[in-house]
């Protein structure tokens, strides 16, 4: 609703599909996700695809919360313009938490990181047991709020509903790759996540067995180039 939205916008992130802004909405700090028009697509098709993706993202956020995993509250949705307004979460991304700690500890991580990884594993198990695939799991899409009430999962723009063990394994593989490429010496942290995931998920052992095959395919692709 344009009348309740401030014109002042600060760009937080630019992606291939959308721009993320910090705005003010009804006097509260908020996040605007704006799926901009794609000039290379026919306007009618572009609007159709945008509406479908906005609906899917809104459903995924609601599903996430229903499964007992924290996600930002939805403030406003405009399907025609491809816009969603979310609650602004005051806190640090897991990426920033880990980079800060790694710098302070000289390349290592302490017990608080271990507990955080266990929490990530539990929350991902809840999502996957509910057949919700995030699609873009990175340490930038997980936020530790200032009040530490829970871990908040954001950006469901590539999410999907799927019972597929393969899809769940690929979701974990994406997160694993994000860790290893962004955070030095983070192999033990990834192990903490996967151990926690396996304990909590009804399909944990099956998904982790498939993850091994996904890794093998990834290594093969790297070798072949």
Edge-first strand listing for the sheet containing 152-153: 91-93, 142-145, 152-153
- pTM equals 0.89
The residues, ordered by sequence, that sit 6+ positions from 206 with a Cβ below 8 Å of its Cβ are 165
**pLDDT tens series, the chain, 225 aa:** 544 555 668 999 887 778 999 999 999 999 999 987 766 676 777 778 889 999 999 999 999 999 999 999 999 999 988 999 999 999 999 999 999 988 887 778 888 899 999 999 999 999 999 999 999 999 999 999 998 779 999 999 999 999 999 999 999 999 999 999 999 899 999 999 999 999 999 999 999 999 999 999 987 665 555
d(CA 182, CA 202): 29
Positions annotated as catalytic residues are 136
Of 126, 138, 129, 149, residue with least CA distance to 206 = 129
Residue 74: count other Cβ atoms within 10 Å of its Cβ. Answer: 15
Q: Which domains are present in the chain? A: 10-87 (3.30.200.20), 91-223 (1.10.510.10)
Report CA torsion sign: 128, 192, 96, 185: negative
Contact in structure between 184 and 110 (CB atoms under 8 Å): no
Per 3-state DSSP, the chain is made up of helix, strand and coil in percentages (nearest 5) of 50, 20, 30
**Token pair for residue 123?**
């929350």
Report CA torsion sign: 83, 85, 90, 94: negative
Of 137, 102, 101, 104, residue with least CA distance to 120 = 137
The DSSP 8-state label assigned to residue 107 in this structure reads: S
């Amino acid at each position: 609703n344009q009348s309740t939205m401030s014109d002042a916008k600060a760009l937080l992130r630019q992606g291939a599909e959308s721009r993320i802004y910090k705005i003010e909405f009804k006097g509260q700090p908020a996040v605007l996700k704006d799926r901009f028009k794609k000039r290379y697509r026919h306007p009618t098709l572009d609007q159709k695809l945008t509406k479908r993706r906005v609906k899917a993202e809104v459903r995924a956020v609601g599903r996430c919360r229903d499964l007992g995993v924290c996600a930002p509250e939805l403030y406003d949705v405009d399907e025609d313009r491809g816009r969603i307004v979310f609650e602004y979460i005051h806190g640090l991304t897991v990426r920033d938490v880990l980079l800060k700690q790694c710098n302070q500890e000289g390349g290592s991580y302490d017990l608080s990181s271990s507990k955080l990884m266990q929490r990530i594993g539990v929350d991902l198990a809840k999502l996957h047991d509910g057949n919700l695939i995030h699609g873009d799991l990175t340490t930038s899409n997980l936020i530790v709020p200032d009040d530490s009430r829970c871990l908040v999962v954001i950006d469901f723009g590539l999410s999907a509903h799927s019972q597929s063990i393969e899809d769940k394994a690929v979701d974990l593989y994406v997160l694993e790759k994000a860790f290893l490429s962004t955070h030095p010496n983070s192999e033990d942290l990834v192990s903490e996540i996967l151990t926690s995931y396996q304990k909590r998920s009804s399909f944990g052992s099956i998904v982790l067995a498939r993850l091994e095959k996904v890794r093998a395919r990834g290594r093969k692709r790297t070798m072949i180039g």
